[in-house]
Each structure stands twice: as C-alpha cells, then as structure tokens.
Structure 1
C-alpha cells in the first residue's frame, strides 16, 4: 500500500490536489464526517435554514456551467476529434484538449448520494494519479455534465413551481437518464476491452466498468424502491 501511494504520478505535470493522496483523502473524510455526524449534530436542535434564494442562484450557475462544458466538449469531440471512441487513449497534460477535459473530470442525504459523491472523487483521483489525464474516463465526464445540466434545470424549475416540485414525473425520468448514462458507460467499457488493437491499459477501463456497474445497481435499487414498489403497493 505504501509503495502504491508513493508511486510517481503517471503524468509529471500535476494539477492541484493530485500531488499526493492526502488532500483528496482528507476532503472526502471531511465530507463524510460532516454529512454523517457533525452536520446532524449541528442541526439537531435547530430549525431548517431557508436556503431557497441561495439554491436558486446555485442552480442557475450549475445550469450555465454544465451547459457550457457540454457544448465545449461536444465541439471538441465532433470538430477537434482528439480521440478514437473505440479506444480513448490518455493524452499528455500539455495537449490543448486538456482545458476542456480537466473540468469534465471534476466533476436529500441518502446512501446513494453519499456513496456516489465520495466514490466518484476517489475514482477520479486514482485515475488522474495512476493513469494520467483523460483516457477512458472522458466519456463518463462528458455524459455526466449533460445529466447534471438536466438535473439542475429541474432543480431550478421545481424551486419556482410547487406543482413541478410535488410531481414524481420529473424525478422518475431524471433517474432513468442517470441509469442510461451508466449503461452507456458499461457498454463502452466492454466494447473497449474487446478491441484487439487497443493499447490502453485494461485497469482504468476495469475501474470505469466497476464504478459504472456499482452506480447502475444503486440507482436501479433507488428507482425500484421509489417508483415501482409504491405503485405496486397501491394496486395491492
């Protein structure tokens, strides 16, 4: 374990937080500590804060941010075309496409929510440090900014309309979009592994395949328990 964490980074040009495992580890640990313990203790005897104004601004920023990223990435994939979609190789840090790609990578309190955000941060860090920038992780980031753009459009509209907020339709189909995202990631990973001429290391592909499968299982479980079983119970 010591040798793994002290292995030289795959790319000598380092981004902030990638020079050592400790910054990311401490950030994730702090996040989990606050969400699972300190946050609950802090709010135990307090009324919920009214954050509607803050959330409206935050949602608008996220819509613009993710929308611009998606458009830039689409332009890069369609016009610049730095990758072969069948075998997305790692690019050196000084490649011009990295400007878009770096941001793509970074990308209710439930088990799904907590595991998703903690695991994604650790997976992105592991990919950047041990395999370099981009590569097979790019498609996941590309799909993710589109999904988040749709999600934050819903969050903003629901903050303005009580009817939308109370309707399960939006939430149900956003969850379906999220599951489709992970199915595409799973299918693309399997497709890449089957390319005989692809010189990409199988380990990052396996990592993406594992994370995509884990997320699909968790989102599917969430979907079944929130949108299928309640309807079945009503019919019974």
Structure 2
C-alpha cells in the first residue's frame, strides 16, 4: 500500500511539474485539484439539487438567463475569432499542427484563447445549476452531465500540456457551434412570441454532430500520419468524441424520431 501511495504521489508531482511553463501560473491550471473539487461539487449539486428543490417553487431567472446566454454568445464569438485569426496569422496547418511552446506573440495568443476556452467550460457548468433552480430536471440527462463534467478535465489537460497546436481545431469548431447554441437559448428565454421562430433547434443537434465527426476525422487522421503532436492526446480526443457521437445520435433519435412517432400514435 505504501509503495502504491508513493507511486501515485510521484506521478502527481511529475504531472504538475511537467506542464507548459507558460500556462502553469494561470488560474486553475497548475494542479488538477481545483478542477477535481469543482467536479465533485458539481456532481453533488446534480445529485442533491432536485431533492433540495422538492416542495419549492421553480425560479424563473428570465433576466439572469438572458444575460448569461448573451454573454456566452459574446464569449464564443471572441474565442472563435481568436482561434481562427491566430491560426491563420501563424500559418497553422489544419491537418497537422505541433504546439508552439515559445513566448512569441502568436504562441501566447493561442495559449490564452485555449485557456479562455477551458474556463468557458467551467462557466458552462451553470447550465445545470439553472436547470435545477428552474426544476427542469428532465434536461439533466446522462448526456448533459457527462458532456459538461468531462469537458473541464479534457481542456484542463489541453491547457496544461498542449495549449495550441492542433487542439485549436476542437476549440474553434466548438466555439462556432456555441455561438448558435447559446443564441438559441437566449432567444428562447424571451417567451412564446419568439419561441415560435425557433424551428431550427433540430439543426443545432445536426451541427453538433457534424462538429464531432469533423473532430473524429481530424484526430483520427493524425493517428496514421507522422505528425509532431502527442499521439496520446489524439487517441484521447478520438475516443472521447466517438462517445459523444454515440450519445448525440441516441439523443437525436429519441427526440426527433421516437417521440414524434409516439405523438402521431396518440
């Protein structure tokens, strides 16, 4: 037992001390412990939140949600712009791009937007808290919790070790998708007068699935080419995105095929 504990301790020390020296001083990056605490608190809220809201009236939070979703639209626009413009200015390859660990202007600019993307995933945990406060418990599915909880760890590792390189591709695509996703949520808050124009919800899921397929092809391609980007990260991204494709396909089927078929029968 002692040797196992020592091995774990040695691995932890190695993990925290062998990150990107540029990003280590940044908020929540140096050690995984803050993210583990956030993750644990998040799961605690998911488990206990519905019970705490039992017998209480749901909060409307209309103004809060409008500000929150609009702010995330703005943040997503900023991140997409930074990912796109920085990659173009730096002459990034959209097929294979190693990480620029230098303190060059563009290297640091890309690292900074990677950090903002990671931090946005921490902010987005509020999606679940708002569902709990509004008693929208059906929205807190396994897919929802799995996606939100795992993304903070994935992008902590991304910023800790590979802040740039071809990881920018994932952040750029996801930021683009989130512009429309949080715009949809912001408009939906405005009530029935606007909701009747939000017929394009189905296409948001298709856009998300398209993004995941693109990421799978991108990371999968680099597993079979001589690309100076860590294969371990490509394998992790490829494996993770396959799970998302499966879960989102199931969501799409359940929402737009099975439920509609049941409504027709009724």
TM-score (norm 2): 0.80
* C-alpha RMSD over aligned residues: 2.1
Per the alignment, residue 180 of structure 2 pairs with 150
Per the alignment, residue 238 of structure 2 pairs with 209
Structure 1 residue runs without a partner (length 5+): none
Q: Deviations over 1:148-168 (max 9, x none)?
A: 110111112222241553678
Of 93, 98, 104, 2:117 maps to 104
Q: Is the 8 A contact 1:86 1:195 kept in 2?
A: no
Matched ranges for 1:1-236 at <5 A: 1-7=8-14, 8-13=17-22, 14=24, 15-37=26-48, 39-78=49-88, 80-92=89-101, 94=103, 95-97=107-109, 98-107=111-120, 108-129=139-160, 131-162=161-192, 165=195, 169-196=199-226, 198-234=227-263
Q: Is the 8 A contact 1:136 1:204 kept in 2?
A: no
CA distance in 1, matches of 2:158, 2:11: 13
CA distance in 2, matches of 1:180, 1:164: 27
Check 1:218–1:102 CA distance in 2 against 1; reply closer, same or farther (3 A cut): same
Q: Is the 8 A contact 2:76 2:175 kept in 1?
A: yes
Structure 2 residue runs without a partner (length 5+): 1-7, 121-138
Return 154-163 or 212-221, whichever deviates more.
154-163
TM-score (norm 1): 0.89
Q: Is the 8 A contact 1:66 1:145 kept in 2?
A: yes
CA distance in 2, matches of 1:82, 1:6: 35
Aligned residues: 232
